[in-house]
Amino acid sequence: MATVRTIVLPHYPSYPIHVCMFKDVSNAAFLRSQLLEANPDFDYAFLDAAMILSPQHLLSAAFLALHCTQVARAKTRTAHSELVFRLHPNNNIGESYRKFGISDKTSALIAVKLALKPETTAQVVAEHLGEHVKGESADPGEALEHVGMWCDVGKVRKMYKLEGVGEPKKGKRGAIVNGNASDMDERKEMESVITGIITLKGS
């Protein structure tokens, strides 16, 4: 059994989102092969935990993925692939999977299941993932507050080209605007730019 946290997005109450986290995953190659085979049992969004900055980051992509599939404007075949696709700033599905998806070497994993059918309950997801993912389950937190704990901030910064965003500035003019820029939370700043980039993607 894996620890599953369920998030209900405002405005999409009928499609809850189940999130699991695993560390020291040893069978990433197997999970990836299941995705490549498009095995319907493994219809999850397996994400590299190093690339997820914060709950807002994950949820904004999840919201748009869900929204796009609901209004039939999705670019990919399933809601889960849409989620992985949505995370990447460019319009390349393969690239999205390489950067944000699971790779053979991935050890820290975030598994997301969009419950498009009511029978996909947290219980089902927990059992299924607990059985097939070989790794130690971790708690994402009630509001997914721990979802960014394995994040590689440098990698995310590079991905979204956020050089200088939220970084403590040294003598640059930007720091003195409004006087209190220095104590702004770095991740918070990055996150607010990233949600914008994700929203603007493909337009």
If phi over 0 gives left and psi between -120 and 50 gives alpha, with beta otherwise, what is residue 182? Answer: alpha
Q: In this complex, which beta carbon is closest to another protein, that of residue 153 or of residue 181?
A: 181
Positive or negative CA dihedral for 127, 132, 133, 136? positive
Q: Is residue 79 at the binding interface for another protein, with CB under 8 A as the rule?
A: no
Q: Is residue 9 at the binding interface for another protein, with CB under 8 A as the rule?
A: yes
Q: Is residue 170 at the binding interface for another protein, with CB under 8 A as the rule?
A: no
If phi over 0 gives left and psi between -120 and 50 gives alpha, with beta otherwise, what is residue 11? Answer: left
Q: Using CA atoms, how far apart are residues 201 and 203, in angstroms rounded to an integer?
A: 6
Q: In this complex, which beta carbon is closest to another protein, that of residue 54 or of residue 81?
A: 54
Q: Is residue 35 at the binding interface for another protein, with CB under 8 A as the rule?
A: no
- Please identify which residue in 90, 176, 185, 186 interacts with another protein, judged by CB under 8 A: 176
Q: In this complex, which beta carbon is closest to another protein, that of residue 25 or of residue 47?
A: 47
Q: Using CA atoms, how far apart are residues 196 and 179, in angstroms rounded to an integer?
A: 24
Residues 26/134, Cβ–Cβ less than 8 Å? yes
Q: In this complex, which beta carbon is closest to another protein, that of residue 42 or of residue 85?
A: 85
Q: Is residue 121 at the binding interface for another protein, with CB under 8 A as the rule?
A: no
Pairing of strands 45-48, 136-138: unpaired
Q: Using CA atoms, how far apart are residues 135 and 106, in angstroms rounded to an integer?
A: 11
- Please identify which residue in 31, 45, 49, 59 interacts with another protein, judged by CB under 8 A: 59
Q: In this complex, which beta carbon is closest to another protein, that of residue 94 or of residue 164?
A: 164
Q: Is residue 153 at the binding interface for another protein, with CB under 8 A as the rule?
A: no
- Please identify which residue in 20, 53, 64, 133 interacts with another protein, judged by CB under 8 A: 64
